[in-house]
Structure 1
Amino acid sequence: MSDPGNAFTLTDEQRDFRSSVRSFLQHHCPEAEVRRVMDSADGYEPTVWRAMADQLNLQGLVIPEEYGGEGFGCAELALVLEETGAALLPGPYFTSAVLAANALLHSADEVAKKRYLPDIASGHTIGTVAVTERSGRWDLDDLETRAEPVGDGWALSGTKHYVPDGMIADLVLVVARTDDGPGMFCVDDTQALQRRAQSTLDQTRRQAVIQMTATPATRVSASTADIERALAYSAAGLAAEQVGGAQRCLDHAVSYAKVRHQFGRPIGSFQAIRHRCADLMLEIECARGAVQYAAHAADVHPESLPAAAAMAKAHCSEVYARAAAANIQLHGGIGFTWEHPAHMYFKRAASSAQLLGDADHHRRLLADRVGL
């Protein structure tokens, strides 16, 4: 679907695809539905999850056809994530279809791919990745969870914090410390895990604490470099989601500035408001360009992905935070109320900034990649 020779111009097929995703989300994920699901026990709507798989095959978008997916690239995934970010889609789409799927795809383990990816692609399995511990850091040298060989398998001991969608996941990919460095392990018997919901600022993206005590697991054939590449790919996807949220914040602010009057005129006619919105538009377009470059790197120049993804995630985290704050401020008093959706975007911006590492973390990764 994508055209590597013209990476930053959408094809007609891509525009039609994005339009289909947007229409789907407008129908299935309006603000009232987001609020309802936010208050539900599991934090997602199973009927919408099934429709995403059955109607648009979104869960398997980047999974190759040989594993039951659609075989599209990161360019198409970025379009989907921009739309889900704009709609504040609650649930495990990013966690399962991006984070978990790519952890497996970037491994060298054909057995694990054939076993788990078809069910992730169909939506029958919800996967997640458990990396962070009490510190909340996404550094692979900060692991305390331990994996020990036991007979033909492995046993995991330790506690993972801030595991996205950890309460509802059917498959948990745990990154743990071994004698030969970090490794990745599959736990598909979630009854062997002790899980509890973790309090979160963003109610549209649930997290959990997962405790393991000699928990049986299967090792995935993945090197440290494989795990880091998978996290970089997911960071590029998360940056696309952040751009979608930032754009929706700007759209809300501009719409309100056109109808809110003070001193007999729309507040959007005041120079300070106009300049603020123009500055945000420029920042968001720059952020979108960073995402497009990262997606292009993932599809065409994978050796450039780690640096491109780090740059995109660091920049988009800050742009989304500024856009969400400006949206509240430009709405005035109503923007601070529970009834207005501005606070939901502000909370998503804050949580997404920490997921997969904050801006400083990614700047350090970028500095390491370019040799600074």
Structure 2
Amino acid sequence: MSDELDLLYTEVEDDLRATVRDALTDRCEPGAVTALYDGDRSLVPTLWKVIGADLGLAGILVPEDRGGAGASAREAAVVLEELGRAVAPVPYLTSAVVATTVLLEAGSDLVGPLAAGERTAALAVPFPTGPDGPVPAVRADAEGRLDGRVTSVAGALEADLLLVPAAGAHGTALYAVPADRCRVEPVVSLDMTRRLADVSFAGAPADLVTADGEAAVRQGLRAGAALLASEQVGLARACLDDTVAYLKVRRQFGRPVGGFQALKHRLADLSAEVDSANAAARYAAAVLAAGDADLPVATAVAQAFCSDLAVLAAEEAIQLHGGIGMTWEHPAHLYLKRAKADQIGLGSPGAHRARLAELVDLPA
């Protein structure tokens, strides 16, 4: 563990947070997000243009000499906290973090249009795939044509480009395939703000990105898992803040509900848990930004803790909002659905705990 990492937010990060929060307040109100479940997805492209292109956040991890903002995982973590806080339906995690990291690791020029927010990409692996789990691969022939099917791919429906691990004669390589060259079928997802899709390839012509595909894919998955914790923290803090605000004004027996001691204790416990999760997520982001060797441990700790905590915070929000929390009109259900989907995304908490046990040499 590094002794030199500063986990406090900088002024630049605070300014970035304010900018992203203002944009989401103006453009991502809960009613528009709920409308996604009724089939109205008009919010997605307009919001992504603001976040990815207008604010320049799609290229936050890309060096300036390659057309990006030249920032780091710390700044990306702040963006994800705010996106989680608003349950924003944009492909930031899948395109600006995972796919972008894969392309940077592979040294590909394809990262330029992604950094500019002109195109989006998705890594064609199932969303539950963790950084240390088996990487499913389709088949590639000698001419680079792909055959096979990948299920439950996050971000595929919004992607212009798919990054596909494919098994060939010399191991797993990584190919780039325009989305219109394959079949992308949406599946019914619990969280419609980050939809999943099954992707099928039938002799699809593809361009080789790198012959060492597995290394690039694992780096992308690890960056995604490390920064997903920040999204989960933002979600959990939003649930806590909204619940506290509601209990201050909801009255029962002539007094605010928040004044009852039992509820105070529950909220105090949840607040302490959210602060702990924030520390774990900040450390994972700082380690990723610094290229520290502690990244596998930091990622496993952050995901094992933050995944469950986000679900707990959303469940508490629904219960402590009482009857209104159970309604479709109230946004609490959006947070629970995102939290439950994130809980298995990029590796389940159990998988991360098992990996952590291996890393610290803890016997089963």
User: TM-score per shorter chain, which class?
Assistant: over 0.9
What is the aligned partner in structure 2 of residue 235 from structure 1?
A: 225
Tell me the distance in 1 between the aligned counterparts of 2:182 and 2:205: 9
Task: Give per-residue Cα distances to partners, 1:156-200, cap 9 Å, x unaligned.
Answer: 211111111212311101123334443322112x22201111100
Q: Deviations over 1:68-92 (max 9, x none)?
A: 1001011111111000100111121
Q: Please give the secondary structure, in 2, of the residue aligned with 1:168.
A: coil
Matched AA of 1:123 = G
1:90 is paired with a residue whose SS is coil
SS class of match (2:321): helix
Match of 1:349 among 308, 333, 339: 339
Alignment partner, residue 259 of structure 1: 249
Q: Name structure 2 gaps, 5 residues minimum.
A: none
Structure 1, residues 30-58: CA drift from partner, whole Å, max 9, x if none? 11232234544657432322222443211
Match of residue 126 from structure 2: 132
Distance 1:187 1:62, change over 3 A: same
Tell me, which stretches of 5 or more residues in structure 1 are unaligned?
none
Change (3 A) 1:299 1:165: closer
> How many angstroms apart in 1 are the aligned matches of 2:279 and 2:227?
13
Whether contact under 8 Å (1:195, 1:211) holds in the other structure is yes
Residue 282 of structure 2: SS of its match in structure 1? helix
2:200 corresponding residue in structure 1: 211
Distance in 1 separating the partners of 2:123 and 2:253: 53
Q: What CA distance in whole angstroms lies between the structure 2 residues aligned with 1:294 and 1:238? A: 10
1:359 corresponding residue in structure 2: 349
The range that moved more, 339-348 or 21-30, is 21-30
Among all aligned residue pairs of Structure 1 and Structure 2, give the percentage whose two residues are the same amino acid. Answer: 39
| TM-score (ref. length: structure 2) | 0.92
**1:121: which partner in 2?**
115
Alpha-carbon contact 1:43-1:204 (below 8 Å) kept: no
Would you say the 8 A contact 1:86–1:241 is kept in 2? yes
C-alpha spacing 1:192/1:223, structure 2 compared with 1 (3 Å):
closer
Q: How many residues align?
A: 358
- Taking a change above 3 Å as real, the CA distance of residues 370 and 361 of structure 1, as seen in their structure-2 partners, is same
Q: C-alpha distance in 1, partners of 2:135/2:306?
A: 25
Q: Answer yes or no: is the 8 Å Cα contact 2:181–2:204 preserved in 1.
A: yes
Report runs of 4+ in structure 1 exceeding 4 Å deviation: 40-44, 136-140
Q: SS of the counterpart of 1:185?
A: strand
Deviations, residues 299-318 of structure 1 (Å, cap 9, x unaligned): 11432212211211121100
Task: Give TM-score scaled by structure 1 length.
Answer: 0.90
Q: Is residue 229–residue 306 contact of structure 1 (8 Å, CA) maintained in 2?
A: no
Aligned-residue offset at 1:227: 2.2
Residue 145 of structure 1: aligned partner = 138
- Post-superposition Cα deviations, 1:104-155, rounded to whole Å, max 9, x if no partner, equal 1122xx3xx22x111111111111011129xx544653625222322xxx12
> What amino acid sits opposite 1:84 in the alignment?
L
Instruction: Look up the match of 2:9.
Output: 10
Task: Give the match's secondary structure for 1:302.
Answer: coil
1:58 equivalent to 2:57? Answer yes
Query: What is the aligned-residue RMSD (CA, Å)?
Result: 2.0
How much has 1:294 moved relative to structure 2?
A: 0.7
**8 Å Cα contact 1:86/1:247 also seen in 2:** yes
